[in-house]
Amino acid sequence: MANKNISDRLKHARLSSGLSQKDVYEKLKIKQSRFSSWETGNAEPEIRIFLELCRIYGIDDIYEYFCGSGTSRSKSALSAELSLAVSKLKELHRDDAAFRRVMNCLDFEYAEHLTQKARRYEFGTIPVPVYMQPAAAGLGNYITDDDAEIMSIAAPPDTDAGIRISGDSMEPEICDGEIVCIKYMPYVSPGDIGIFVYRGEAYCKKLDIIDGKPCLVSINPKYLPIPINENEEIRTVGKVLL
């Protein structure tokens, strides 16, 4: 799922420019279905095409248009850092050699990111208890229940248990139905992904600090952060090992 804010703002820019979808996808020499997916939120254009769309639509200040006061920052807006980077890329796009050097660096770092992400599938297979009651399904005390099966799964050597994840709130990092490995611990650091029990619900979320307050945050931008009320108990089951 793409960033919904980008999809909505790109569609708004096209309509404001008085252009039809056909006007644009024929100019870009791409299929209508591919172009349409950028406006429905099913995909995002690659950076070169994104910059070309901004040029076609007359978007000069990319940061202001996609993250300015006229857009929602709370749910799916681009981060300020990303928007600034896009603005710089737009400027560099005029110098093909400079742009290519930056893109080469980006390609290298992205490939390294994918390599690190794939590491979780390269661990040796070890037997661990896998709790079949999925996180985010509503039973906060399931981790102490006997509803676990010993399964041989690819896991880091310090894995204490596996938990099946329900829903798409952590996609694309963690997919619906995936078994994640956890290390039992009473707390995790901000930025870490963990399994939490809050208000009787079990969640797989990233712990983050927003406006000075702790929140349980989804990776999928279509889900709002869950603020943690300081007067309510939250229990950390463990850290998700990625």
> What Å distances lie between residue 158 and 122, 147, 185, CA to CA?
14, 21, 12
What pLDDT shows up at residue 67? Answer: 63
pLDDT value for 92: 81
Which SS3 state, helix, strand or coil, does residue 141 take? coil
pLDDT digits (tens, 9 = 90+) for 15-66: 988 999 999 999 998 888 888 888 887 777 877 788 888 889 988 777 677 7
Cα–Cα distance for residue pair 22/35, rounded to 1 Å? 9
DSSP character string of 163-192: EEE-SSTTTTTS-TTPEEEEEE-S---TT-
Contact at 8 Å (CB) between 159 and 128?
Answer: yes
Checking if the pLDDT of 187 tops 50, the result is yes
The token pair at 68 is 């300015």
Residue ranges covered by each domain of the chain: 4-118, 123-241
Domain 4-118 sits in CATH 1.10.260: yes
What is the helix (H) or strand (E) element at residue 112, kind and residue range?
Answer: helix 96-118
Question: What pLDDT sits at residue 71?
Answer: 43
Give the CATH number of domain 123-241.
2.10.109.10
Return the structure tokens found at 12.
């708004």
Rounded to the nearest 5 percent, the helix, strand and coil shares of the chain are 35, 25, 40
pLDDT confidence bin for 121, thresholds 50/70/90: low
Buried b / exposed e over 186-209, threshold 16 CB at 10 Å, is: eebeeeebbbbbbeeebbbbbbee
